[in-house]
Structure 1
């Protein structure tokens, strides 16, 4: 976990997975995570998944234009379409501005 500066953008992706093509999904997810890290303005990401396939990924971006550039990145756009076709029952996406960020660790 890392702190994100005030004014940065959080893209919150909440999705329910299908049971179709687990190996293909895992490969694509790893590829997209690696690709996101190469994008200008990328600040980090957090992930969580339940046993029943509900997952949340939050990616953090320097500003809104960086987040939009990631949305429009061609490989990401193609993978998103594949996800709609095969890997997700549904998803929601929320874009929010980080107002404050705190960290605590034992």
Structure 2
């Protein structure tokens, strides 16, 4: 996994899904691809468990880039559909990342 060089911003979206897909998987894939084309986008990490709980963290250069993504017309429509169809609940948090480090095991020969 590649980490951006701090400082940068993380948008943390935690959600619980409704029953059924209702076009969610296709739209989620589209939103990931579209976000990657936005100015200031640095990457994302997403997971969802069998109960429907999901966490998506997207990484951005600055708050202006996050605001630009929020204004995107397709993203706005996806948020509307999310509240109407796809989510039981969600929380969104924006954080500035000051430090970042990790570990990666070397492959065994």
Tell me, yes or no, whether TM beats 0.5.
yes
Which structure has the highest helix share of the two?
A: 1
Aligned to 2:19: 19
- Tell me which residue corresponds to 1:48: 47
Query: 1:7, CA displacement in angstroms?
Result: 2.0
User: What does 1:82-93 align with in structure 2 at a 5 Å threshold?
Assistant: 82-93=81-92
Deviates more, 1:1-10 or 1:44-53: 1-10
CA contact (8 A) 2:38 2:69 kept: yes
> How far does the alpha carbon of each residue in 1:73-92 deviate from its partner, in whole angstroms, 9 at most, with x for none?
11101111001100000000
TM-score (norm: length of structure 2): 0.92
Q: RMSD value over aligned CA atoms? A: 1.0
Matches of 2:47 and 2:99 in 1, distance apart?
Answer: 21
- 1:56, 1:8 → 2: CA distance? 19
Ranges in structure 1 where 5+ consecutive residues have no aligned partner: none
- The gaps in structure 2 that reach 5 residues or longer are none
After TM superposition, the structure 1 = structure 2 runs for residues 64-103 of structure 1, keeping only pairs within 5 Å, are 64-103=63-102
CA positional deviation for 1:103: 2.1
Which is worse superposed, 85-94 or 72-81?
Answer: 72-81
CA contact (8 A) 2:48 2:54 kept: yes
Give aligned pairs, total.
Answer: 105
Residues 5 and 98 in structure 1, CA contact (< 8 A), matched pair in contact too: no
Counterpart contact for 2:13–2:92, Cα < 8 Å: yes
